[in-house]
Structure 1
Amino acid sequence: MTDPRHHPAPDLADPAFWKLPPAERLAGFARLREQPRPAYFVERGATGRRPERGFYALVRHADVLKASRLPQVFASAPGVTSPEPARWVRAVFGDSMVNLDGADHARLRRIVSQAFTPRLLAATELSIRELAVRIVDDMVAERPGEFVSAVASRMSFEVICAMLGVPDAYRRRIARQIDRASEHAGVSRGLGARLRSPGKGLRALARMQLTVARLRRERRRHPTGDLISALVCADLEGQALNYRQLGSFFSLLLVAGVETTRNAIAHALALLTGHPDQLALLVSDFERYADGAVDEIVRHSTPIIQFRRTVTARYTMSGHTFLPGDKVMLLYASANRDASVFDDPDAFDITRSPNPHLGYGGGGPHYCLGAHLARLEIKAILCELLTRPLVLRTLGAPELGTSNFDHRVRRQHFAFDVTKG
């Protein structure tokens, strides 16, 4: 990678930066890590006639970790994404758990955590292995040419639907709603798309809410042992999730859980086939190297690039004093390449140990609830793809989305051969 000292620091508020190839963006993060204190960026639309909008970028592993574990200073409310959800949107659709702090967040998280019973988790783990077998069986029989839709998306979506208890009849409709809700997460939209996408996304979320409300009524009357039943029948201090809370969690789990795991699986194919030495090592003893491979895939690809935080109290860190109201970007994609933590950080090494990546967040109360589930999914599909008599190869580089939020793979063309074993 280019020496960061010989080039100017990038402008993370400029959409052009997020259109750069991934290697150039990573080089930009490296230049920011060389700076003595967090850089500040003014976002587009901020002019002298309007209040300035901007954010500080936390790019070092230590800073992202510290901010993640200080929610009393670096708050998730009113929103971890940009733009922040409008008040009327939060009133209509409910507050997502990722946008809550303190007692409100803790109460929702307790209800959700209580619903993840050992019995449900054991059944989910079994269904993940069975689903991985079916997906690869279908892949061999149908010989698709595009990996994301045929394998990665199907794995992540069907696992979440099965765990929630979404009937088969609803799944195709919900899949379309997820695509519409997340279609314009990037930064490369033209004016027409910018004007259309909020309405499209909100309509998709509204339809998902109606679907959830219908499922909630059904499960309240007839619990079936799935996650929705557990959430609407929970009895934590006499409380369960109301329809807005359930709808918000449903959307979070489907959009966030499906998108991030799908992207990690898609990146896994490109990384392993692009590093044949690592692929050979993993295939030589899958059980020995699989867990390390999953963690390195997540570190190297970092499916969620960043989350935002709002400063609530005066606090000094890395030579800068943050003030209440300041906006901060936690850049996981940069923290996961911090050379002060990771030896040869740009290398893909499935034996890397330790591997304290921040691909599921930096700890604290907002550490990803689905981290264990995501690891199981990635490991299960890799097991089926790599321990069968198959030879897989990518055809060209993955087609990536242009986003400052997630490291999305839109399409990855591939081919494979069935060998005699």
Structure 2
Amino acid sequence: MWFWRGWRDVLKVEDINLTDWEFWRRPLADRHEAFKALRWEPSLIHFEEPDVVIVPRGPGYYALTRHADVVEASRRPQDFCSGRGATNIPDMPGDMHEYFGSMINMDDPRHAKIRRIVSRAFSPRMIQRFEDQVEAVAAQILDEVEAGGTGDFVADVAARLPLKIICDMMGIGAEHYRTVLDATNIILAGNDAEFVPAGDPEQVALALLGAGQTLKDIVEELGRQRRAEPADDLTSALVNANLDGESLTDQELGSFFILLVVAGNETTRNAIAHGLDLFTRHPEQRALLAEDFEGRVAGAVEEIVRYVSPVVWMRRTATRDTTLNEHEIKAGDKLVLYYWSANRDETVFAGADRFDILRDPNPHLGFGGPGPHFCLGAHLARREITVMFRELLTRLPGIRSGTPDRLESSFINGIKRLPYTF
């Protein structure tokens, strides 16, 4: 465990421990300064792995904190694979990593198979239909806010939009919304004692498995119904898809749903919540957006995603001895790609710590780096964020947020609750 005391004067790279939960409890400014120090270190820094009861402790990992290193590792899947685990640093037993990550935790040819089937199911007509639905859902949410909400922006607005869009897309009924939301909160809880029994790794593992099974049960039952009686939804398209003789198994359908609902719900809701917080703390940026919303909203969305980086990191594993931007890498080495740090790289982003909706260019990695694992739902996420802020600034131009209640996690830059007034 380590602490800063007058940390700006005494911070040393050897004192930084990205594995220690105390690091992730530090104020945001402290953490950003630590990553800045890591970015300027010539060599890659090696860290011990978290101690997880259910698996032996692994050999540790290298932290990729520079934009160029994260990009290079992302675009070379043949050298830096995802199939040994992308969403966890320790090696999980059996296929547990695929259970929660689906395509994120696969390599070709399995990854290519699943992605082909899913991409075919996401037909242009279906995508357009749900993009159009975003506007109606956002308007309905704001109707209810104006009529009187709970005072928590996450519960009233940020969490509701992506949850309803994803559930409607899959054909999941409203009676399951709360269950789906609770399960995703557990899966991405990190070390937050509000959602998981922090300090007890065995109980945490059981909670994660239980939440995953809850989601799989919902979609697998729906899948059985849609095979017999197809409807106009994504589940029907997925379970009845047959591409060159390949189709999804129940296991693959369930794992894909966990990925879709977790990635599509949590990341979008956190971008919306962080967005309100940012526009409250930077009124000059809110004014810029309001002056020319349609001309500036695309840049605003990209800057929100860059600045907050809802997904903090992903892991890769070296498949052979190689080099990464002149760094020697051995077969089996684990690399953790810190998007949160790469998106503040001073060599790429001028004034990287400044929130600037006019930033151009903005080659952020908030939806993942280049390569086969770039976020499949990035376009829909951008659409949801755009529509929600159009509604907010048009109908509630005086909306302001209070102090965020942040999720204690090293993986998701989340906001649990956000008070607001208008």
Q: Same fold (TM over 0.5)?
A: yes
- 8 Å Cα contact 2:100-2:259 kept in structure 1: no
- 1:419 aligns with none
Alpha-carbon distance between aligned partners in 2 of 1:120 and 1:42, rounded to the nearest angstrom: 45
- 1:181 and 2:187 are equivalent in the alignment: yes
Q: Map of 1:20-31 to 2, 5 A cutoff? A: 20-31=26-37
Q: What displacement does 1:111 show?
A: 0.5
- 8 Å Cα contact 2:198-2:204 kept in structure 1: no
Alpha-carbon distance between aligned partners in 2 of 1:89 and 1:194, rounded to the nearest angstrom: 15
- 8 Å Cα contact 2:64-2:70 kept in structure 1: yes
Q: Map of 1:40-189 to 2, 5 A cutoff? A: 40-45=46-51, 53-82=59-88, 83-87=90-94, 89=96, 93=99, 96-184=102-190
**One-letter identity of the residue aligned with 1:114:** R
Alpha-carbon distance between aligned partners in 2 of 1:258 and 1:191, rounded to the nearest angstrom: 23
> Structure 1 residue aligned with 2:378, among 364, 371, 375?
371
- 8 Å Cα contact 1:68-1:362 kept in structure 2: yes
- 1:292 aligns with 299
> Structure 2 residue aligned with 1:404, among 397, 402, 410?
410
- 8 Å Cα contact 1:186-1:404 kept in structure 2: no
> Structure 1 residue aligned with 2:240, among 214, 233, 250?
233
> Against the structure 1 CA distance between its residues 88 and 307, is the aligned structure 2 distance closer, same or farther, given a 3 Å change threshold?
closer
- 8 Å Cα contact 2:64-2:336 kept in structure 1: yes
Residue by residue, what CA displacement relative to the aligned partner does 1:63-106 show, whole Å, maximum 9, x if unpaired? 10010000011110121122343206368x48711110011101
Alpha-carbon distance between aligned partners in 1 of 2:204 and 2:326, rounded to the nearest angstrom: 40
Alpha-carbon distance between aligned partners in 2 of 1:179 and 1:14, rounded to the nearest angstrom: 22
Q: What secondary structure does 2:47 align onto?
A: strand
- 1:36 and 2:38 are equivalent in the alignment: no
Identity %: 43
- 2:212 aligns with 205
- 1:16 aligns with 22
Question: Unaligned 5+ residue runs, structure 2?
Answer: 1-5
- 1:387 and 2:394 are equivalent in the alignment: yes
Q: What displacement does 1:7 show?
A: 2.5
Q: What displacement does 1:287 show?
A: 0.3
> Against the structure 1 CA distance between its residues 409 and 319, is the aligned structure 2 distance closer, same or farther, given a 3 Å change threshold?
same
Alpha-carbon distance between aligned partners in 1 of 2:149 and 2:174, rounded to the nearest angstrom: 24
- 2:11 aligns with 7
- How many aligned positions are there? 410
Segment drifting more, 370-379 vs 183-192 = 183-192
Alpha-carbon distance between aligned partners in 2 of 1:162 and 1:191, rounded to the nearest angstrom: 33
- 8 Å Cα contact 1:186-1:405 kept in structure 2: no
Q: Map of 1:213-252 to 2, 5 A cutoff? A: 213-252=220-259
Q: What displacement does 1:279 show?
A: 0.3
**One-letter identity of the residue aligned with 2:264:** G
- 8 Å Cα contact 2:50-2:57 kept in structure 1: no
> Against the structure 1 CA distance between its residues 97 and 44, is the aligned structure 2 distance closer, same or farther, given a 3 Å change threshold?
closer
> Structure 1 residue aligned with 2:331, among 324, 328, 331?
324
Q: What secondary structure does 2:400 align onto?
A: strand
Q: What displacement does 1:236 show?
A: 0.6
Alpha-carbon distance between aligned partners in 2 of 1:315 and 1:259, rounded to the nearest angstrom: 35
> Against the structure 1 CA distance between its residues 152 and 354, is the aligned structure 2 distance closer, same or farther, given a 3 Å change threshold?
same
Alpha-carbon distance between aligned partners in 1 of 2:127 and 2:345, rounded to the nearest angstrom: 34
**One-letter identity of the residue aligned with 1:255:** V
**One-letter identity of the residue aligned with 1:322:** I
Alpha-carbon distance between aligned partners in 2 of 1:68 and 1:184, rounded to the nearest angstrom: 24
**One-letter identity of the residue aligned with 1:40:** H
- 2:354 aligns with 347
Alpha-carbon distance between aligned partners in 1 of 2:93 and 2:57, rounded to the nearest angstrom: 18
Q: What displacement does 1:3 show?
A: 10
Alpha-carbon distance between aligned partners in 2 of 1:88 and 1:115, rounded to the nearest angstrom: 25
> Structure 2 residue aligned with 1:195, among 197, 202, 214?
202
| Cα-Cα RMSD | 2.1
**One-letter identity of the residue aligned with 1:297:** I
Q: What displacement does 1:335 show?
A: 0.4
Alpha-carbon distance between aligned partners in 2 of 1:358 and 1:389, rounded to the nearest angstrom: 31
- 8 Å Cα contact 2:101-2:259 kept in structure 1: no
Q: What displacement does 1:394 show?
A: 1.3
> Against the structure 1 CA distance between its residues 192 and 336, is the aligned structure 2 distance closer, same or farther, given a 3 Å change threshold?
closer
**One-letter identity of the residue aligned with 1:7:** L
- 8 Å Cα contact 1:81-1:308 kept in structure 2: yes
Q: What displacement does 1:165 show?
A: 1.4
Alpha-carbon distance between aligned partners in 1 of 2:65 and 2:183, rounded to the nearest angstrom: 33
- Normalising by structure 1, we get a TM-score of 0.92
